[in-house]
Amino acid sequence: MTFTNIQEFNADLTRFSKTLTETQFIRILRKIGLQLLRAIVMRTPVDTGRARANWQVTINTDSIESASDSTDKSGGSTISKGSSVLGVLRNMSINQIQSIFISNNVEYIVDLENGHSGQAPRGMVYLSVRQIAEQF
């Protein structure tokens, strides 16, 4: 993923946010976050399920948690946990929301994003961001 694509997506979101009420924008932000998480998790290659299980959602600060040995081959548990975090946005104002991070601290996640697995030869994050950006 190029930094320019993320900057353009953020700029588009900022312009779009000015046309909505705060409640509408936060609802859409949650929806975008959840759709992006789902897309990334479901594109993550599955061998043991460890890479899928280690996707984490945080608000305003990147995750500092170490990767766990948990597994989630279906991705359902990981998506559910992330959805719960995104639910916190309902109780926040726009001024309190600076960033939503979807991160993974598994030591081989960059290799997977760079196409190391035949299950995801074009990665997960770049394709997911591109897909969601096109939808919104």
Give pLDDT tens digits for 41-85.
999 999 999 999 999 999 999 988 899 999 999 999 999 999 999
Look at the block and give the residue holding tokens 């897309």: 39
Sequence ranges of the domains in the chain:
3-135
Give pLDDT tens digits for 14-47.
787 778 888 998 999 999 999 999 999 999 999 9
